[in-house]
Amino acid sequence: MVSTSTGLIESKDVQMHFYRTGGNKPPLVLVHGISDDGLCWSRVARELAADYDCVMVDMRGHGKSSAPQDGYTIENLGRELTEFIQKLGLHKPIVLGHSMGALTTLVMASLFPALPGAILLEDPPGFWVAKPPDDQDAAYRQRLIDNFDQQKRMTKDELVAEAREGKRYWSEEDIEDWANAKHRFSYRIAELVRPPDLRSQQLIGQLNQISCPALFIAGEPACGALATTEDIDALKKLIPQLQAEKIENAGHSIRRYQFDAYIRVVKNFLAGLSR
């Protein structure tokens, strides 16, 4: 595990817990996906901590952050991430988000375009693409909710065994962090599987306000990644400066499937920011 300090930030109706590698370095905020938490970034933070002050936040209902009764919308998460960054006094942070965390990052950067120095998006679902109701999509979301219920009932050993069987390309460290996170989320996060504002035209219409450098890290849909080429092309029309890098043989949690390739892509993008 990477060496970190911890802290709490009060953000309206939620206490936001975080881990931080520290140092007088550019800030890099790491925003996890649904049912993960800040410590699921430990392996990435260890790779980047020499050059960046890595801040791994637990979003509402996850990790050691509080779990209010309601308010589980993408806009709320984006605003809470904004307030977290502001209260921590981070100047022009780079923000890297995965899945739900990538959606949160997009909303933050669209509502407050002057806040981030750059954003990196690891396989966000393409909410910006208009899609009719789909039985397959509804079934996928229900499977996620069912998985949350099942995971909350499993022991740590059972979770690790399941991950080793179904996620055999992951490292033991990633499996351990993933399994631990499943005992730290609130079941209230199930509301985030189908938040009422996910297809909000207001949120989608604000994406063209994003002005900072941006990178989309894509996997392969055939391996379980969510974003398609069409999704990425549609987002490029809204964010013209968006760069995209595809990592072969990677599912939705791209960094866990192809860690070395993922870190190369991230470091290359970050190096380009200082040129």
pLDDT in tens, 78-118: 999 999 999 999 999 999 999 999 999 999 999 999 999 99
Position with higher pLDDT, 248 vs 12: 248
pLDDT > 90? residue 18: yes
Enumerate domains of the chain plus CATH numbers. 5-273 (3.40.50.1820)
DSSP state of 217: E
pLDDT > 80? residue 267: yes
218: which residues sit within 8 A by CB, 6+ positions away?
A: 123, 225, 227, 232, 244, 245, 246, 247, 254
The mean per-residue pLDDT over the stretch 113-125 comes to 97
* Beta bridge pairs of residue 94: 28, 118
pLDDT > 70? residue 49: yes
pLDDT of amino acid 156: 95
pLDDT category, 143, cuts 50, 70, 90? Answer: confident
pLDDT of amino acid 89: 97
92: which residues sit within 8 A by CB, 6+ positions away?
A: 115, 116, 117
258: which residues sit within 8 A by CB, 6+ positions away?
A: 219, 247, 248, 249, 250
pLDDT of amino acid 136: 58
pLDDT > 70? residue 132: no
Which pair of structure tokens corresponds to residue 200? 């909000």
DSSP state of 224: T
For 50-60, write each residue's pLDDT tens digit. 999 999 999 99
State what percent of residues in the chain have pLDDT above 90. Answer: 82
Q: How far is CA 60 from CA 34, 115, 176, 246, in A?
A: 10, 21, 22, 30
Picking from 108, 95, 97, 82, the residue whose alpha carbon sits closest to that of residue 40 is 97
pLDDT of amino acid 194: 85
pLDDT of amino acid 201: 86
Place of tokens 């590698």: 21
Q: Where are the beta strands (DSSP E) in 99-206?
A: 118-122
pLDDT category, 2, cuts 50, 70, 90? Answer: confident
The phi-psi region of residue 211 (left if phi > 0; otherwise alpha if psi is between -120 and 50; otherwise beta) is alpha
pLDDT of amino acid 133: 56
Integer-rounded Cα radius of gyration of the chain: 17
Contact 9, 15 (CB under 8 A): yes
For 213-247, write each residue's pLDDT tens digit. 999 999 999 999 999 999 999 999 999 999 999 99
pLDDT of amino acid 220: 97
- What span, in angstroms and rounded, lies between the C-alpha atoms of 207 and 238? 6
pLDDT > 80? residue 275: no
Place of tokens 């392969």: 220
pLDDT > 70? residue 124: yes
